[in-house]
Structure 1
Amino acid sequence: MSSFQDLPTDVGPLSAYVARPAGPVRGGLVLIHEVWGLVGHTRDVADRFAREGYVVVAPDLLADQGITEENTAGIGEALAGPDAEARNEAQPKLRALLAPLQDPEFAALTTERVRACFRFLHDDTEVAGRVGITGFCFGGSYSFSLAVHEPRLRACIPFYGHADFSREELARITAPVLAFYGQDDEGLITGLPALEAAMAAAGADFTATVYPDAGHAFFNDSNRFAYRPGPAEDAWKLTLDFLALHVG
């Protein structure tokens, strides 16, 4: 059972795709989309988690920044594809989309909205306080952010996200973190040893899984150039096992 709902937040109503299981509820899951907005792929992933027994809240965090399914269509494939001309045409489009996201006020607004999604699930009587978070790219970064800001979080599963936090901020993380990366995602892989060291120094429970022959967005089966079935299937299994252990 899935529907769009307006969730209450301290910064105004937030549209979200909410998917509920047909049977017993194992827990709740905040699901954060990629930088392309709340597209069909994200809604499909929400439905997959619901079939596994989780109440899922997938907020639309970028529509008010002008980032919608309609105006981002095809950019991700162009960036991941073999056509150099298409990549060159897509790069300025991506930069224009990302420009508003660099504002610190946007980060604060988005963090508060993600926390509101957590509270919505945490207060759900069927969920009973058992809430995790997962997300992809942009969503992976804000999964880390919720782990820093919410001590009641049960599990954090970022896919190819950034964790640009100080050691003191990382020390606030109480939820176990299972992070996924593709070996060919050069920027994140280059910084991964430093992140692992910082997480260890902060006392965070952090596990990184890196897949060879995979890059950014390897889980996105709507992107024919980035998707890698083997790593995606393995990451899905590990994600469900991690959720079962820590959330429900």
Structure 2
Amino acid sequence: MSAIIDFTTAGQNFQAYRAEPTGVVRGAVLVIHEIWGLTGHIKDVADRFAAAGYLAVAPDLMGLAGLDATLLAELGADRNDPVKGAAAQPRIREATAPLRSPESAARIRDGVKEVFNHLEATAEGAGRTAVVGYCFGGTYSFALAVDEPRLAGAVPFYGHANFTAKELAGINCPILAFYGEDDTALTDGLPALIVSMQAAGVDFKYTVFSGAGHAFFNDGNTQTYRAEPARIAWTETLEFLEKHVQ
């Protein structure tokens, strides 16, 4: 069963997609979308977690940064179009510019924490809430691990983790990260991140998939989707949740 639920943070309203499992509940998963917002793909991912036994909530965070969700969905579709793709790139940079401000980042982090607190307050999520995020959501999955000591686990897919040594030392949960080998904007910095995570004492495991790049998990994007890495990552994610969330 699924529903749209409402949240408020710092006087701003936003919504989330909530997918409930049937039968025994294993825990809760906060699902954070890509930069395109709460798309059908992300709702489907939340449904997959529910089918695996987890209460899943996927918030739509774009409005907290002042972004137009309808425009982002349109630009995301254009980006994947062989004809419209090139023309869409400057429009995407312009439309997503607000995300680069510290104020927007703070509002988004507050929104993520609001949803986490909601899950922790449920019987399903109390002490058993993990976060899984993709691209933009992978970055904010890392951020929630930094911000929230009650988090049971974090699974960032191709996210940035630009934090100080002090911030990393505050991480209290295991992290399982996924990358595509061709996503050099992230993989070039991975060796340094590994060293920093080790120095901070974080339980940090990662997989880099050959033949894959950014957004390899998104089966709604035929240009980036890679079926076998996506299948392996999904299996490893469920194994991680089974170990750390239940």
Task: Give the alignment's TM-score, normalised by structure 2.
Answer: 0.94
- Whole-angstrom CA distance in 1 between matches of 2:225 and 2:76: 11
Gaps of 5+ in 1: none
- Whole-angstrom CA distance in 2 between matches of 1:7 and 1:106: 17
Q: Which residue of the partner structure matches residue 19 of structure 1?
A: 19
Determine helix, strand or coil for the equivalent of 2:139. Answer: helix
Q: Which residue of the partner structure matches residue 48 of structure 1?
A: 48
CA contact (8 A) 2:133 2:155 kept: yes
Q: Which residue of the partner structure matches residue 211 of structure 1?
A: 209
CA contact (8 A) 1:179 1:207 kept: yes
Cα shift readout 1:122-141 (whole Å, capped 9, x = no counterpart): 11023332000010000000
Determine helix, strand or coil for the equivalent of 2:222. Answer: coil
- Whole-angstrom CA distance in 1 between matches of 2:206 and 2:144: 18
Cα shift readout 1:117-172 (whole Å, capped 9, x = no counterpart): 11100110233320000100000000000000000100000000000100110010
Gaps of 5+ in 2: none
Residues 80 and 14 of structure 1, relative CA distance in 2, 3 Å threshold? closer
User: Which residue identity lines up with residue 36 of structure 2 in the other structure?
Assistant: W
User: Which residue identity lines up with residue 146 of structure 2 in the other structure?
Assistant: V
CA contact (8 A) 2:67 2:96 kept: no
The Cα of 1:93 is off from its aligned counterpart by: 1.4
User: Which residue identity lines up with residue 165 of structure 1 in the other structure?
Assistant: F
Kindly indicate whether residue 121 of structure 2 is the aligned counterpart of residue 126 of structure 1. no
- Whole-angstrom CA distance in 2 between matches of 1:86 and 1:44: 26
Q: Share of identical aligned residues, percent? A: 50
Task: Give the alignment's TM-score, normalised by structure 1.
Answer: 0.94
Of the three residues 153, 156, 169, the one matched with 2:154 is: 156
Residues 231 and 57 of structure 1, relative CA distance in 2, 3 Å threshold? same
Q: Which residue of the partner structure matches residue 61 of structure 2?
A: 61
- Whole-angstrom CA distance in 2 between matches of 1:189 and 1:77: 26
Q: Which residue of the partner structure matches residue 135 of structure 2?
A: 137
Of the three residues 77, 97, 100, the one matched with 2:98 is: 100
- Whole-angstrom CA distance in 2 between matches of 1:217 and 1:180: 10
CA contact (8 A) 1:135 1:143 kept: yes
CA RMSD of aligned residues (A): 1.6
User: Which residue identity lines up with residue 25 of structure 2 in the other structure?
Assistant: V
Determine helix, strand or coil for the equivalent of 1:224. Answer: coil
The Cα of 1:98 is off from its aligned counterpart by: 1.7
- Whole-angstrom CA distance in 1 between matches of 2:138 and 2:167: 17
CA contact (8 A) 1:29 1:54 kept: yes
Say how many residue pairs are matched. 245
CA contact (8 A) 1:25 1:127 kept: no
User: Which residue identity lines up with residue 22 of structure 2 in the other structure?
Assistant: A
Deviation beyond 6 Å, 4+ runs, structure 1: none
- Whole-angstrom CA distance in 2 between matches of 1:99 and 1:174: 32
Q: Which residue of the partner structure matches residue 39 of structure 1?
A: 39
